[in-house]
């Protein structure tokens, strides 16, 4: 019995410092303040000269808490005819087109904000005028997918993604502005 008491006392003394360090580490992590930022994500279409011809803005709030995730989903479901002998018997498949953003792992770094940004931007390509064939009536889906860690200055609009347009000399870009919410 005396050996059992000594072993239990020894184990208690060995574990106590580890438990205290773990408690202090937990208190230190909890002491880090959480901040919120308003993120403005702008998808811009530019012509060959670099002039913005279309812009779509998406605004959300992101927090610096561990494990924070913010999603933006906007778009349309487009019906695509698969075939059939008549309008009643036509089979349809629906595809999603639009803009999807995922913001994860938001962290402050001095006067900058870092986070993981995923973007999936898709649209239907415009059909050339004067083409009346069945093949020309089939829709073409344009898609830009991108996922990366970004580090942007707080309060300043920053282009984080840019891609050339496949049909013209223009391009598409994503610009992000982060403003701290007090």
C-alpha distances (whole Å) from 12 to each of 1, 8, 18, 21, 182 are: 17, 6, 10, 14, 46
**Low-confidence residues of the chain, pLDDT below 50?**
18-21
Whether the model clears a pTM of 0.85, i.e. scores above it, the answer is no
Give the mean pLDDT of the chain.
Answer: 82
pLDDT in tens, 110-135: 999 999 999 999 988 876 666 555 55
Instruction: Tell me if residue 63 falls in helix, strand or coil.
Output: strand
**Residues ≥6 apart with Cβ < 8 Å to 46:** 52, 53, 170, 171, 172, 173
* pLDDT recorded at residue 81: 80
């Amino acid at each position: 019995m005396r050996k059992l008491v000594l072993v239990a006392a020894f184990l208690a003394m060995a574990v106590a410092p580890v438990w205290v360090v773990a408690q202090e580490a937990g208190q230190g992590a909890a002491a880090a303040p959480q901040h919120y930022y308003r993120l403005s994500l702008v998808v811009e279409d530019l012509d060959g000269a670099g002039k913005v011809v279309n812009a779509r803005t998406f605004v959300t709030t992101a927090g610096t808490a561990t494990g924070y995730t913010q999603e933006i989903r906007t778009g349309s479901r487009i019906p695509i005819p698969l075939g059939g002998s008549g309008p009643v018997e036509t089979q349809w498949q629906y595809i999603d087109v639009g803009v999807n953003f995922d913001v994860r792992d938001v962290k402050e770094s001095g006067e900058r904000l870092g986070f993981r940004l995923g973007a999936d931007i898709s649209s239907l390509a415009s059909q050339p005028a004067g083409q009346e064939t069945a093949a020309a009536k089939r829709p073409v889906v344009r898609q830009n997918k991108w996922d990366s860690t970004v580090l942007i200055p707080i309060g300043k609009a920053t282009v984080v993604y840019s891609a050339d347009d496949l049909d013209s000399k223009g391009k598409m870009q994503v610009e992000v502005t982060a403003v701290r919410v007090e």
